[in-house]
Homo-oligomer: A and B are copies of this chain.
Amino acid sequence: MTALPANQFIVGVDLGGTNIVVCAMSADGSRQYGLCSEPTAAHEGADGVIARMARMVNTAVADTMREAGVSRDAFLGVGVGAPGPLDREKGIVLVAPNLNWHNIPLRDRMTELTGLAAALDNDANCATYGEWWVGAARGAKNVIGMTIGTGIGGGIILDGRLYHGSSDVAGEIGHTTIDQTGRRCGCGNYGCLEAYASGTAIAERAREALSFEQLSILPDLVNGDVSKITAATVYAAAAQSDAVAIEIVRDTARFLGTGIANLLNVFNPDCVVIAGGVTQAGEALFVPLRQEVRRRAFKPAVDACRIVPGTLPGTAGVVGAVATFIAQHTGRPPA
């Protein structure tokens, strides 16, 4: 694959429910400029949010022109990662509950406000593509990406290309059932992976455990108010050898391992990359997780696959938005 020249540039935008992250990158992926983050302020409505995104893009362009000493002609366009579901072909955000958006033609609005060609993709897809382009999944052919935060998002790369499925909703890994009669999920279903292993679920399971187990430092870490326990509290307690927290992390590893083993047996990828707060738990999570995968998946699938934490915390999405622009613009994966 021939890389695009290093003297061409693309701006990436990662639109999240809480923050907007923007940066510019050289088209060969080697240099990054003008990385910045601002609150999304969804209450201002779609017009307000899009105007802010455009201002941030224009600032990133100006910063890059100055720092890299290039002209505006050096910019090929802007890639945008947004919460889905999307109509990628039309560049429309169909529904984004956290933003209260419906049928917003985000791609064309970005072009109007920045004068740059634009491409749109799902945020979880972008995060996976970012890790593949310049992060932990670099060099892999078939990749499953998981982003574990409030929920569990997923992205799939097959042969270097994002796989979108027949109606652009592929990769909803968080909503695969691992226990058909299990915990209720926010989606209405029972037993989804997300209902067990998302940050929200980890905190919930910790509160449940404390209802019948007093020997734990978890309450102390939140000044006695267990409603304030988050997944990060659990990782912190586990790092201090708290038995309750360690068990919750181990169970989380087992749940994630089950979901990932399913993906290994059907996709047979060469890399699974896991991003999000849960990776703070480190080897305490990854060791039992890989063990559960080995227990459940076929050996040739296990042997073919490395399971690794992401290496671009906070920027995988914006970097992947750049990569997805390159893929849509050139018709082939970025080199």
Binding site for B on A (CB under 8 A): 85, 141-142, 154, 156, 158, 163-173, 175-182, 187, 189, 191, 254-255, 258, 261-263, 265-270, 295-298, 300-301, 303-305
Contact = CB atoms under 8 A, between A and B. Distances in A.
- SS of A interface (majority): loop
Nearest to A173: B266
A297 B177 CA distance: 10
Contacts of A170: 266-268
Contact of A268 (B141, B167, B266): B167
Contacts of A158: 158, 163
A120 B179 CA distance: 36
Contact of A176 (B141, B167, B266, B303): B266
The 4 closest A-B pairs by CB, nearest first: A165-B268, A167-B304, A170-B268, A166-B270
Contacts of A269: 165-166
Contacts of A141: 166
A188 to B, nearest CB: 8
Nearest to A265: B172
Given A179-B179, A296-B189, A169 B268 contact: yes
A176 B268 contact: no
